[in-house]
Structure 1
Amino acid sequence: MSFEPLSLDDLELFQDDLDIDLIGENLDAITIDPTLPAEMSYTVTATDKGERLDKLVSNMRPDLSRGHVQRLIEEGNLTINGTIVKSGYKLREADLIHLIVPPPAPLAHLAPEAIPLDVVYSDDDIMVINKPAGLVVHPAPGHYSGTLVNALLYHVPNLNINGNIRPGIVHRLDKDTSGLLVVAKTDKALNSLIGQMKEQSTLKEYTVLVEGNVQPPAGIIDAPIGRDPKARKQMAVVRNGKPARTEYKVLAYFARHTLLMARLHTGRTHQIRVHFAYMGHPVTGDPVYGRRKPTLNLKRQFLHAALLGLALPSTGEYREFQAPLPPELEKALLEAQNFD
């Protein structure tokens, strides 16, 4: 089942990354694929003529978001014919693009913190964590404490992968989303997990409670997601957004809510929240894409990463991990069941 994307004009000014402090973690903006070259050149073809510089480069380098590319341009690390231009520069045939991707910032200014972690699985290569709601995954400018990364530096001594400021983080959960998240302890494991996610061989299933009764009881929402042109700090279904597919299955209907299983086939920022809001069934308790007046006594969105499947980097064995609903979501679910 596909839903017709919204028709929105003038999307060229979009940046694909978000303000991390305000909206949640955006992995695209800060993870550099170590398998891709740190320096590269490209000659613009007739097919590329007229394309925006930042858009073309972000399409060529999937590990770099539009916002990251724009910063590289501002810093002089992305040039046209040896000259610094603006992000919106319209490319001409035979233009020479030269890109340098600096290495990630070191970890020296990040301090280990004794933040408790619910470790579901751990070996020499990876750690699977059941993240509580309220825990930010990785640091952002001006906010270098109290995050999952700070906790990892404490629980995994000498953790330093590629000198990355967010060591081992290959996917993320929004601050107020709970559930399973895998982190790498070694460069080898990091590359393995990045490869699995690019090949979409990992399994990510979420338990979701949404407003209203969803019909049909199973389907796939296939609608591209990008920055909302009307609300800069939000995402939306937009015509020229990145492809996004969410599979779902109804688990139970209640008087005013629907309990769902949602499976991600892509990993766009706020994908589940945006897709169900687009359907007219926002995630219950979502303060950004949901209803202004909460229908349940819930202080966070009802979104929980319940199942994670992946191949262990050390052996290649496929494993699945599960995390039960946290108490606050169990309580909200009981309230939904008894809603008159």
Structure 2
Amino acid sequence: MKFTWHNDAQEPMKVKTLLTQHGVTRSLLKKVKFHGGAILVDHQPVLAIHMLTGGETVTMVTPPEIGNDHLGVSTLPINVVYEDRDYLVVNKPAGVASVPAHALPDTTLANRVKGYYRQQGYANEVVHITTRLDRDTSGIVLFAKHHFAHSIIDHQLKAHSMRKIYLAVVAGRIDADHGWLDSPIGRAPDSFIKRMVTPTGKPSLTEYWVVKRLTNMTVVRVQLHSGRTHQIRVHFAAAGHPLVGDALYAGPADPLMTRQALHCMQLSFFDPFQERWLTNFAPLPADLANLIKTRQAANFERPF
């Protein structure tokens, strides 16, 4: 793949400095140098230490990406929310794991995306999953379609500049219309899967807004300001409001919800290739929408 920039700088700089300014990592530069890529200045091949003086056109040609034979191919369909040359946004249904794990069949979302790439005839079948959801959480999952796009998203995740919005239904009534949950989260000592609030955990910050108050339940819109495993589930459980249907964290059972009532409904990130913010939405799945409709109280608080 080719990526091209115009050097508008007034001061001399090395090519690698300009590439770094555009999000090219050191590991990607190594792949370009040693695995069949190229760097061109005004269509002529150069090294990364080549000096630019201003006004040049700089092109990076990335090497082919070899697929991972250990990732099986699934022909099960995916729900594509958005796609361009660089990114694929998928609405994951509940009950589908994001990536393969021990004892899981090759029907995870990653397997399905690889099958989709093959059906579309894409030259690159490498699956770069950049955001993940728990198996029983529905909603938006973002895939990068090449190494460079993946490194861009990794940087945004580390800088907490990506915006992920969830909708959850939690037990009990939350009186405050807006609040923060900022307790540290770490592994529970008696479980490989479960997490808990603990002083020795990693800093974790969750922001929420009440959308609607139901009978013995509250619908909340949630934004993560950190990315810990099970963060929303752990924080609300620790606050005395576990998610409806979340058996792992003692959430109340409801016949209308056979999983935790959690859905990733919005994802926003900056796309440097198009030089604009991309925002995608995933509509509420039928089970969550039905739960809210059926359990709603008479007083409507606020629209989604």
Common topology (TM > 0.5)? yes
1:304 aligned onto 2:263: yes
Q: Tell me: CA distance 1:306–1:193, structure 2 relative to 1, closer, same or farther (3 Å).
A: same
Larger Rg: 2
| Matched residue, 1:200 | 160
Identity of aligned residues (%): 36
User: How far off is 1:311 after superposition?
Assistant: 1.2
Please give the root-mean-square deviation of Cα atoms over the aligned residues, in Å. Answer: 2.2
User: How far off is 1:111 after superposition?
Assistant: 2.4
1:271 aligned onto 2:237: no
In structure 2, distance between residues paired with 1:298 and 1:203? 27
| Matched residue, 1:295 | 254
CA displacement 1:37-72 (0-9 Å, x = unmatched)? 7xxxxxxxxxxxxxxxxxxxxxxxxxxxxxxxxxxx
CA displacement 1:313-332 (0-9 Å, x = unmatched)? 42231021111111111111
2:84 counterpart letter in structure 1: D
Please show how residues 137-176 of structure 1 align to structure 2 within 5 Å: 137-157=98-118, 158-161=123-126, 167-176=127-136
SS in 2 for 1:128: strand
Higher relative contact order structure (alpha carbons within 8 Å, sequence separation ≥ 6): 1
User: How far off is 1:152 after superposition?
Assistant: 1.2
- Selected match of 1:240 from 195, 200, 212: 200
In structure 1, distance between residues paired with 2:190 and 2:296? 36
| Matched residue, 1:129 | 90
| Matched residue, 1:321 | 280
Q: Tell me: CA distance 1:141–1:107, structure 2 relative to 1, closer, same or farther (3 Å).
A: farther
SS in 1 for 2:115: helix
1:290 counterpart letter in structure 2: A
Q: Tell me: CA distance 1:106–1:128, structure 2 relative to 1, closer, same or farther (3 Å).
A: closer
In structure 1, distance between residues paired with 2:109 and 2:196? 27
In structure 1, distance between residues paired with 2:216 and 2:90? 32
1:221 aligned onto 2:181: yes
Please show how residues 34-183 of structure 1 align to structure 2 within 5 Å: 35=25, 107-157=68-118, 158-161=123-126, 167-183=127-143
User: How far off is 1:110 after superposition?
Assistant: 2.5
User: How far off is 1:172 after superposition?
Assistant: 0.4
SS in 1 for 2:234: helix
Unaligned runs of 5+ in 1: 1-33, 38-104, 162-166
1:328 counterpart letter in structure 2: D
2:285 counterpart letter in structure 1: P
In structure 2, distance between residues paired with 1:184 and 1:313? 13
TM-score (norm 1): 0.65
SS in 2 for 1:288: helix
In structure 2, distance between residues paired with 1:196 and 1:175? 24
In structure 1, distance between residues paired with 2:286 and 2:25? 41
In structure 2, distance between residues paired with 1:156 and 1:308? 22
In structure 1, distance between residues paired with 2:105 and 2:292? 34
Which has the larger displacement, 225-234 or 195-204?
225-234
User: How far off is 1:160 after superposition?
Assistant: 4.5
| Matched residue, 2:241 | 281
1:331 aligned onto 2:296: no
In structure 2, distance between residues paired with 1:247 and 1:124? 33
1:128 counterpart letter in structure 2: V
Unaligned runs of 5+ in 2: 1-23, 28-65, 299-304
Q: Tell me: CA distance 1:228–1:247, structure 2 relative to 1, closer, same or farther (3 Å).
A: same
User: How far off is 1:224 after superposition?
Assistant: 0.6
User: How far off is 1:149 after superposition?
Assistant: 1.2
User: How far off is 1:153 after superposition?
Assistant: 1.0
Q: Tell me: CA distance 1:215–1:228, structure 2 relative to 1, closer, same or farther (3 Å).
A: farther
In structure 2, distance between residues paired with 1:295 and 1:154? 35
CA displacement 1:21-45 (0-9 Å, x = unmatched)? xxxxxxxxxxxxx9577xxxxxxxx
